[in-house]
A and B are shown apart, each in its own frame.
Chain A
Amino acid sequence: MCPQTVGLVQGALESAGITTTGATGVAEVSQKVGVPRALNVPWRLGYTLGEPNNPKLQREVLEQALALTDRDDIPVLEALTSIGNDG
């Protein structure tokens, strides 16, 4: 349910003029809900940021999600590219 719940928030924020992005572990659901921008991550549910206590990998997810805010051609759904060697 989580991608729908945050998707509802995301849609309202975007409509209110706040640029939104995010990560998702279930691209199908994010797509069905139609969230403005999302980075599709390859890990199991609960592991959206990759790995606990792995700041490098977590940061990479955030940076790639934030980079999607360059885009106005919403809905934007991109897959995470190049994960760190220790990820």
Chain B
Amino acid sequence: MDPELERFMRDYPWRQLGEIIPARRIKPLAECRVALVSSAGLVAPGQAPYDNETKGGDWSWRSIPAGVDIQSLTEHHRSDSWDHTGIEADRNMGMPLDRLHELAADSVIGEVAPRHISVMGSITAPGRFIRQTVPEIVEALTADEVDVALMVPV
């Protein structure tokens, strides 16, 4: 890792979630509806790209429909602290939707949720993200009756 990035990782005042009561999975995985949450800054065709001029990081989110051709997504992540080549070659590296469909087809999971969540993870000032975006994402996945959410940071 780049020394400057390493220093940042060490010194940044990371937000802490504190104590959380675990959401126990009641159903077998093979009956669960699963959604992905990706921070790779992916947008579907027709959606607005992330605004990489926004100070503190664009805190908006995109809803990615389950039926989208994953390779048609475009990536708009502003940070150069990670290697973008994997996602450029295969969008499943940022949002493994093809793999999720395969897991559902093989009954490892019950079903693929109708929509998945994309955010642009480089948010150094997360206040607006916490106040506005996070509750919207919780509302969306709750409305979709998602049992398990799987996070994919880049």
Q: When A18-B142, A19-B25, A45-B81 are in contact, do A6 and B152 touch as well, CB less than 8 Å?
A: yes
The interface residues of chain B lying within 8 Å CB-to-CB of A34 are 16-18, 20
The interface residues of chain B lying within 8 Å CB-to-CB of A6 are 37-39, 119, 121, 151-153
Q: What's the least CB distance linking A1 to chain B, in Å?
A: 5
Which single member of B38, B85, B98, B124 contacts A46 (CB below 8 Å)?
B85
Within 8 A of B (CB), among A49-72: 49, 51-53, 55, 58-59, 61-63, 65-66, 69-70, 72
Q: Assess the B153–A14 pair: CB atoms within 8 A.
A: no
In the bound complex, how far is the Cα of B84 from the Cα of A52, in angstroms?
11
Query: Does residue B100 face the partner (Cβ distance < 8 Å to A)?
Result: yes
Q: Assess the A7–B17 pair: CB atoms within 8 A.
A: yes
The interface residues of chain B lying within 8 Å CB-to-CB of A38 are 151
In the bound complex, how far is the Cα of B90 from the Cα of A58, in angstroms?
11
A-B contact count (CB 8 A): 212
The interface residues of chain B lying within 8 Å CB-to-CB of A83 are none
Query: Does residue B134 face the partner (Cβ distance < 8 Å to A)?
Result: yes
Q: Assess the A22–B150 pair: CB atoms within 8 A.
A: yes
Q: Interface residues of A toward B: which range?
A: 35 or more
Q: Assess the A72–B137 pair: CB atoms within 8 A.
A: no
Q: Assess the B98–A55 pair: CB atoms within 8 A.
A: yes
Chain A positions within 8 Å of B, measured between CB atoms, are 1-26, 28-29, 32-36, 38, 44-49, 51-53, 55, 58-59, 61-63, 65-66, 69-70, 72-74
Chain B positions within 8 Å of A, measured between CB atoms, are 1, 9, 14-18, 20-25, 29, 32, 34, 37-39, 57, 79, 81-87, 89-90, 92-93, 96, 98-100, 102-103, 108-109, 117, 119, 121-124, 126, 129-130, 134-135, 137-138, 141-142, 146-154
